[in-house]
C-alpha cells in the first residue's frame, strides 16, 4: 500500500468526489472556541483537500460550502462565512491558476453580498480556460430548489411552444440542473458522522457510493481522503444490476 494511491489503478478511482463538510461548529465547541474559529480552521481543510485532488488528477471535486437552509444561522456567523468565502476567492487565485484548477459555483445568488459575488465571478472567469481538476463550490445551494428551478425552465419552454411534455426525459431535466455538463459524483463523503444527505445533489448522487467519517471537517486530513478513495476502489458498483462472474 502506497501513501500516494499509486497502487490503485485509475479505472478504480472516482472521477468526481462530492463532500458535505460538516462539523466546523462542533469542532470549535468541543475546544471551547467560538463557532467561527471552526469555520476558519475548515478553510485549511478545504485548501489541503483541493490541492490533493488536483495533485491526484481528480476530474471534479464538489464542496458543499453553504446550504440554502444555512441562512437560519445567526447573522454574525453568516457575515463571517461570507467574509471567509470572499477571502478564499481572493487568496487562492495564485494556487488555483498554478495548479490548473477550474472553478465553478452552483446555487442561487440571492442573499450573497455583492462584493462576495464579484470576487466569486472573477475567480470563475480567471480559471475558465484551465483544464485540470474542476472545483465546484455549492454556495446557497439546495437540491430541491435546484430541481424546482429546472422544472420551471422546462415548463417555460412548454408554454412557449418550444417543448412538448412527452419529450421531457432525464437528459432534458439534467440539462436544466445547475450541474449541467458535469459528471455525476461517484463518491460522496460526509464528515462529523452524520448519516444524512442534507438536500445535497439529490438527483446527481443517485448511484454514488457513500463514505462517512466521524472526524469533523477541520480534522479532515489527506490520509482520510486517501482512505475514502481506497474504500471506494474496493467496492463493486452494480448500478442496480448484478455482477456477472466469469
Is 70 noted as a catalytic residue in this protein? yes
Angle at 153 between CA 133 and CA 137, to 5 degrees: 25
Q: Which domains does the chain have, with CATH numbers?
A: 13-142+186-233 (3.40.1180.10)
Please confirm, yes or no, whether 199 is among the known catalytic residues.
no
Looking at residue 246, its pLDDT comes to 42
Tell me which of 4, 22, 157, 169 is the catalytic residue: 22
pLDDT of residue 4: 78
For 133-161, b/e burial (b = at least 16 CB within 10 A) is bbbbbbbbbbbebbbeebeebbeebeeee
At 82-105, the pLDDT tens digits run 999 999 999 999 999 999 999 999
pLDDT for 211 equals 98
**Residue in 41, 52, 155, 143 with CA at minimum distance from that of residue 95:** 52
Pick out the chain residues at pLDDT < 70.
Answer: 1-3, 240-246
In this prediction, residue 240 carries a pLDDT of 67
Q: Which of 4, 7, 70, 140 is catalytic?
A: 70
Amino acid at each position: 500500500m502506497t501513501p500516494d494511491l499509486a497502487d490503485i489503478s485509475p479505472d478504480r478511482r472516482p472521477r468526481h468526489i462530492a463532500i458535505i463538510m460538516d462539523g466546523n461548529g462542533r469542532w470549535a465547541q468541543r475546544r471551547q472556541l467560538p463557532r467561527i474559529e471552526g469555520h476558519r480552521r475548515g478553510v485549511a481543510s478545504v485548501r489541503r483537500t483541493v490541492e490533493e485532488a488536483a495533485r491526484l488528477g481528480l476530474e471534479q471535486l464538489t464542496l458543499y460550502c453553504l446550504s440554502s437552509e444555512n441562512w437560519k444561522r445567526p447573522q454574525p456567523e453568516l457575515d463571517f462565512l461570507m467574509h471567509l468565502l470572499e477571502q478564499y476567492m481572493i487568496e487562492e487565485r495564485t494556487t488555483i491558476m498554478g495548479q490548473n484548477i477550474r472553478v465553478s459555483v452552483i446555487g442561487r445568488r440571492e442573499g450573497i453580498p455583492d462584493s462576495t459575488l464579484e470576487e466569486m465571478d472573477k475567480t470563475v472567469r480567471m480559471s475558465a480556460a484551465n483544464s485540470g481538476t474542476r472545483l465546484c463550490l455549492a454556495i446557497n445551494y439546495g437540491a430541491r430548489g435546484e430541481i424546482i428551478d429546472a422544472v420551471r425552465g422546462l415548463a417555460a419552454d412548454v408554454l412557449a411552444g418550444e417543448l412538448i411534455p412527452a419529450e421531457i426525459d432525464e437528459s432534458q431535466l439534467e440539462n436544466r440542473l445547475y450541474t449541467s455538463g458535469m459528471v455525476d459524483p461517484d463518491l460522496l463523503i460526509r464528515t462529523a458522522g452524520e448519516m444524512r444527505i442534507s438536500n445535497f445533489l439529490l438527483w446527481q448522487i443517485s448511484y454514488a457510493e457513500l463514505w462517512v467519517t466521524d472526524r469533523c471537517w477541520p480534522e479532515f486530513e489527506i490520509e482520510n481522503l486517501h482512505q475514502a478513495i481506497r474504500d471506494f476502489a474496493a467496492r463493486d458498483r452494480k448500478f442496480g444490476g448484478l455482477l456477472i462472474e466469469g
